[in-house]
């Protein structure tokens, strides 16, 4: 890589474009361990050929007095779609040899953890395919280069830079000459996911969920708020911490990582009860009255295995303390029947 990088840098300098040149290096997540993120160069032994080319690059940069801005563009993909493509290419629906490393998203999370946030731009492939012009324009702004409509088209057929895996993965790309939501297909493909590879998906999804919150699309998502022109009317709500838990076990997590099962009774049929609490000058207004009503409602609905009062009070003060909210705060306290085994309005189907 360092040899090719040297020739790319020299080519830009020879053309007299050292102040506006851009060099793009495509890497695979599984090879991240070969890269030194402290120096932004390929890792290697002191006397290795890679480091010899690195020294040549550094000398060339020093003599030319050019300034380098280095960014990591992290491209993520939904693990289920990624696994579906992998299985389709292997031809084995029951491929139980699919290792989580092949999905790549866990390695991408490791990459993100090693670089500063202002040097990492995360893009979701679904967002890129849905609106390539918008995503690419945002990327260009982030890295400080000019956007061009030429980025949306390319020559059909094979390219020298495709890489050794192209013959397995690039058939549809070779048929195309620009962005197309169907990728040249006449119909969408709906694939079976074997239970044999669910462990791989489960291990990949947490990393994908976190990285997806760093995309521009997530930051620009629609939030149900008054028409003030602001995504969050109260800035404290953007990064608020919430409490989610079952009796005797709960935790505080960021709002964009909080979730409940689609089989939860509140989702299946609005089967829940709630109270709205307000905090003034370090005190919760009529907390005991609210809790009395909450537990009466749960009893009237026939809830079983409910949190005890001490657990609820502890959760309330833990989340208020974690957020540093002691005045001018409103809390929605929701209690549900819990996760059901199937979709049914019958409260006995648990």
List, for residues 37-76, the tens digit of each pLDDT value. 877 777 665 557 777 878 888 888 888 877 778 899 999 9
pLDDT at 184: 42
Per-residue pLDDT reduced to its tens digit, 299-320: 999 998 899 999 999 999 999 9
Rounded Cα–Cα distance for residues 6 and 14 (Å): 12
pLDDT at 222 over 70: no
Q: Which residues of 283-312 are buried (b: 16+ CB within 10 A; e: fewer)?
A: ebeebeebbeebbeebeeeebeebbeeebb
pLDDT band (50, 70, 90) for residue 17? low
Residue 212, pLDDT > 80, answer yes
| pLDDT over 90 at 171, yes or no | no
Give the torsion sign (CA, 255, 261, 264, 269). positive
Residues 6 or more apart whose Cβ sits within 8 Å of residue 249: none
What average pLDDT does this structure show over 137-148?
92
pTM (predicted TM-score): 0.78
Indicate if the pLDDT at residue 158 is higher than 60.
yes
126 pLDDT higher than 70: yes
Beta bridge pairs of residue 280:
283
pLDDT at 76: 95
Read off the pLDDT band of 297 (50, 70, 90): very high
Indicate the CATH number for domain 235-336: 3.30.470.10
Residue 185 confidence class, pLDDT cut points 50, 70, 90:
very low
Decide: residue 49, CB within 10 A, 0-12 exposed, 13-18 middle, 19+ buried.
exposed
Q: Answer yes or no: is pLDDT of 102 > 90.
A: no
Integer Cα distance of 338 and 304 in angstroms: 9
Domain boundaries, the chain: 2-199, 235-336
Q: What is the pLDDT of residue 105?
A: 92
pLDDT at res. 44 = 61
- Residue 308 structure tokens: 């005890």
Give the count of beta carbons closer than 10 Å to the beta carbon of residue 94. Answer: 11
Report the pLDDT averaged over residues 336-345.
Answer: 81
pLDDT at 97 over 80: no
Residue 184 or residue 135, greater confidence: 135
Among 164-178, 181-195, 296-310, top mean pLDDT goes to: 296-310
CA dist., res. 38 & res. 61, Å (int): 18
Residue for token digits 């979730």?
Answer: 259
pLDDT at position 186: 47
How large a percentage of the chain has pLDDT more than 70? 87
Output the average pLDDT for the chain: 84
Q: Who wins on pLDDT, 53 or 263?
A: 263
What confidence score (pLDDT) does residue 52 get?
81
If one compares 329 and 63, the residue with the highest pLDDT of the two is: 329
Report how far apart, in Å, the C-alpha atoms of 296 and of each of 113, 178, 303, 306 are. 47, 61, 10, 12
């Amino acid at each position: 890589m360092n040899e090719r990088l040297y020739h790319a840098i020299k080519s830009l300098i020879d053309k007299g474009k050292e102040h506006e040149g851009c060099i793009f290096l495509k890497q695979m997540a599984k090879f991240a361990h070969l890269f030194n993120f402290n120096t932004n160069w390929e890792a290697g032994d002191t006397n290795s050929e890679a480091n010899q080319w690195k020294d040549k690059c550094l000398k060339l940069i020093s003599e030319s007095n050019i300034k380098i801005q280095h960014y990591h563009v992290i491209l993520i993909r939904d693990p289920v779609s990624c696994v579906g493509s992998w299985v389709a290419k292997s031809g084995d629906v029951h491929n139980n040899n699919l290792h989580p490393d092949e999905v790549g998203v866990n390695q991408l999370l490791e990459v993100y953890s090693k670089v500063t946030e202002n040097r990492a731009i995360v893009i979701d492939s679904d967002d890129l395919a849905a609106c390539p012009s918008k995503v690419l324009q945002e990327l260009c702004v982030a890295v400080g280069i000019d956007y061009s409509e030429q980025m949306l088209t390319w020559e059909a057929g094979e390219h020298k830079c495709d890489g050794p895996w192209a013959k397995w993965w690039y058939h549809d790309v070779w048929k195309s000459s620009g962005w197309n939501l169907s990728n040249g297909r006449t119909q969408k493909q709906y694939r079976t996911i074997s239970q044999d590879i669910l462990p791989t998906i489960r291990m990949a999804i947490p990393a994908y969920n976190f990285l997806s919150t760093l995309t521009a699309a997530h930051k620009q998502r629609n939030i149900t708020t008054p028409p003030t022109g602001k995504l969050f009317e109260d800035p404290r709500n953007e990064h608020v911490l919430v409490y989610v838990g079952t009796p005797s076990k709960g935790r505080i997590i960021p709002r964009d990582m909080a979730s409940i099962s689609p089989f939860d009774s509140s989702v299946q049929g609005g089967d829940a009860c709630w109270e709205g609490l307000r905090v003034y000058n370090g005190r919760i207004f009529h907390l005991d009255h609210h809790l009395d009503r909450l537990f009466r409602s749960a009893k009237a609905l026939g809830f079983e295995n409910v949190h005890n009062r001490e657990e609820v009070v502890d959760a309330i003060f833990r989340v208020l303390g974690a957020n540093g909210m002691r005045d001018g705060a409103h809390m929605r306290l929701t209690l549900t029947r819990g996760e059901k085994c199937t979709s049914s309005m019958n409260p006995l189907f648990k």
